[in-house]
Amino acid sequence: KAGVTQTPRYLIKTRGQQVTLSCSPISGHRSVSWYQQTPGQGLQFLFEYFSETQRNKGNFPGRFSGRQFSNSRSEMNVSTLELGDSALYLCASSLNDRTYNEQFFGPGTRLTVL
């Protein structure tokens, strides 16, 4: 089975711009979660989608949004980029929304905001 894929792998944007990141989960997985990883804050939960519905949300401003499509692929959007949004954005998929299911992580998208 192919793993979780994320595109693009690297992205450079300037302040004020918006960005869309894409995640394709493992085939058959219906839950997709997004995380922001930074050296100072570690891994922080952004949101989780299951069956095209946002099920859980972390403590991030409304500039961060996402969606999930019927094929379980997910996109994350950040509007009005700030310097502090520079981070590695990780996507993780799991079979369903059962809490005991482990997550399978993608390689991440490295976003640099100048």
Partner 1 sequence: AQSVSQHNHHVILSEAASLELGCNYSYGGTVNLFWYVQYPGQHLQLLLKYFSGDPLVKGIKGFEAEFIKSKFSFNLRKPSVQWSDTAEYFCAVKGAGKSTFGDGTTLTVKP
State the residues that interact with partner 1 by CB under 8 A. 3-4, 33, 35, 42-45, 48, 55-56, 58, 90, 92, 97, 99-100, 102-108
Whichever of 70 and 99 has its CB closer to partner 1, that residue is: 99
User: How many CB atoms are located within 10 Å of the residue 100 CB?
Assistant: 5
Whichever of 38 and 71 has its CB closer to partner 1, that residue is: 38
How far apart are CB 74 and partner 1 at their closest, in Å? 16
Residue closest to 114 by CA, chosen among 9, 46, 37, 17: 17
Which position has the token pair 């972390």? Answer: 58
**Is 5 within 8 Å of 28 (Cβ atoms)?**
no
Q: Which token pair is 107?
A: 């390689």
Q: Which token pair is 10?
A: 């690297």
How far apart are CB 37 and partner 1 at their closest, in Å? 9
How far apart are CB 27 and partner 1 at their closest, in Å? 17
Q: Which token pair is 76?
A: 């994350």
Whichever of 60 and 79 has its CB closer to partner 1, that residue is: 60
